[in-house]
Amino acid sequence: MNNILDRYIGQSIISGVFIVLLIFIALYELFAFVGETGKIGRADYTVWTAIQYSLLLVPQHIYEMFPLSLLLGTMLGLGWLANHNELVVIRMAGVSLLRIVFSVMKTALLLIFLAMVIGEGIAPPLYQYAGELRVKALQQHINLNTAYGLWARDGNVYINVNRVENNGRLVGITLYEFEQEQLKRLIEARKATYDGKQWYLHKVKETIYSTGNIRIEEKEAMPWKTLLDLDMVKIVALPPELLSIWRLKGYIRYLKNNELNYDYYELIYWTKLYLPLTMFTMVLLAIPFVFGSVRQVSIGKQVMLGFLLGITFYMLNRLSGQMGLIYGIPPAISALLPTLVVISFTLWRYRKIR
């Protein structure tokens, strides 16, 4: 009996979640493709390239929309059962609310596991490959963007950038200039900034190699003429939200070892680490909204309410993170605070239906 109940409720919730995901992803991909149409015809960028690029982003979009889809899908699935009085029948058959919640959460755990596999194992490499595909089609000079940084070639100069920040600033630049297959000049810079017209290297160490002689010069700043423009840099940059948890952890360790600011990356790390708990809480939140008015549930109203709740949580999550960075709140706390608010609100809703 219990297994039948678990399967029946689980099928309803899975159907609801996948319907919501399908709608969201269809809209996402439509906008993603439309956004790429302006690049069609440039260099080797074709309609097929734009389609490939858009499709490669699907796993990342699924991961981003999964918490909200879980909330809406659970409301939708249970709403169907409530509208057909099936939840009433189940309760009248002696099944407790706690047992129904258990059935819902068994399905939720399976979906959360699937979301984490997609988000942490599948989406990051596909997103990176999508960026490489687009860059190669738009500009053949960009060779590789890997875990070891951005590599590019500008004539006889090979460029390695260790890190690209969200604002387009480059950190850890090394330039290798060759002449007749011999290293002629090595330039190392702590960072590079773009003033709208050209790049400037800062904290520069320049090593010049000549026959029997090596000369080293240090400069506070120097102009840098290169094929890399700001738009191209942003295309190949991987935002921290798109790094897997283990790559984020390794990168935070690197920033600490090099005495660089890592607060934002640590905030993203804890946010991603708490994500399974957040999704679990979203499912729990959906249940009392359905059972609170089980005889007069409107699916449309439930979905709209769930959407508003999801948007509110998203805004609260962003606000909490930014306020934490401003006021020096440990990222582990500021990342968890929105989820704790949702848990508190969920417990209050459960008390109302008992």
80 & 105 share domain: yes
Would residue 54 count as lying in a domain? yes
Looking at 176, 199, 226, the residue that finishes a domain is: 226
Under 8 Å between Cβ of 264 and 100: no
Residue 198: per-residue pLDDT: 82
- Contacts with 162 (C-beta within 8 Å, 6 or more apart), sequence order: 149, 171, 172, 173, 174
206 & 295 share domain: no
The enclosing H or E element of 254 equals helix 245-257
Would residue 58 count as lying in a domain? yes
Place of tokens 């399905």: 107
Q: What pairs with residue 176 in β-bridges?
A: 158, 186
Would residue 231 count as lying in a domain? no
Residue 254: per-residue pLDDT: 66
135 & 149 share domain: no
- The separation between the first and the last C-alpha atoms of the chain, rounded to the nearest angstrom, is 24
Would residue 232 count as lying in a domain? no
Would residue 64 count as lying in a domain? yes
Helix axes 275-291, 58-83, angle to 10 degrees: 20
Distance CA(307)–CA(72), nearest Å, equals 7
Q: Using CA of residue 246, residue 159, residue 197, residue 33, what is the dihedral sign?
A: negative
> Hey, what amino acid is at 85?
N
Looking at 226, 248, 277, the residue that finishes a domain is: 226
Counting as low any pLDDT under 70, the low residues of the chain are 1-2, 139-149, 165-168, 227-238, 254-255, 258-260, 292-300, 302-303, 352-354
Would residue 159 count as lying in a domain? yes
Distance CA(92)–CA(273), nearest Å, equals 40
6 & 98 share domain: yes
Looking at 192, 226, 260, the residue that finishes a domain is: 226
- The tokens describing 309, both together, are 């709740």
Global pTM exceeds 0.75: no
250 & 262 share domain: yes
Minimal CA–CA distance to 3: which of 93, 94, 107, 78?
A: 107
Distance CA(70)–CA(6), nearest Å, equals 17
Q: How many CB atoms lie within 10 A of CB 208?
A: 14
Would residue 183 count as lying in a domain? yes
Distance CA(176)–CA(331), nearest Å, equals 38
Exposed / middle / buried, residue 259 (Cβ in 10 Å: 0-12, 13-18, 19+): exposed
Plot region of 181 (φ>0 → left; ψ -120 to 50 → alpha; else → beta) = left
7 & 99 share domain: yes
Domain enclosing residue 221, as ranges:
142-226
> Hey, what amino acid is at 210?
S
pLDDT in tens, 260-305: 678 888 888 998 999 898 888 888 888 877 775 544 546 667 667 7
213 & 149 share domain: yes
* Count of the separate structural domains present in the chain: 2
Minimal CA–CA distance to 153: which of 136, 171, 168, 133?
A: 136
Residue 140: per-residue pLDDT: 47
294 & 190 share domain: no
306 & 202 share domain: no
Residue 92: per-residue pLDDT: 81
Residue 129: per-residue pLDDT: 82
Minimal CA–CA distance to 281: which of 112, 121, 115, 113?
A: 112
131 & 40 share domain: yes
The contacts found for 202-205 with CB under 8 angstroms, 24 or more apart, are: none
Minimal CA–CA distance to 78: which of 126, 21, 16, 168?
A: 16
Residue 236: per-residue pLDDT: 52
Would residue 66 count as lying in a domain? yes
- The tokens describing 154, both together, are 């500008």
123 & 158 share domain: no
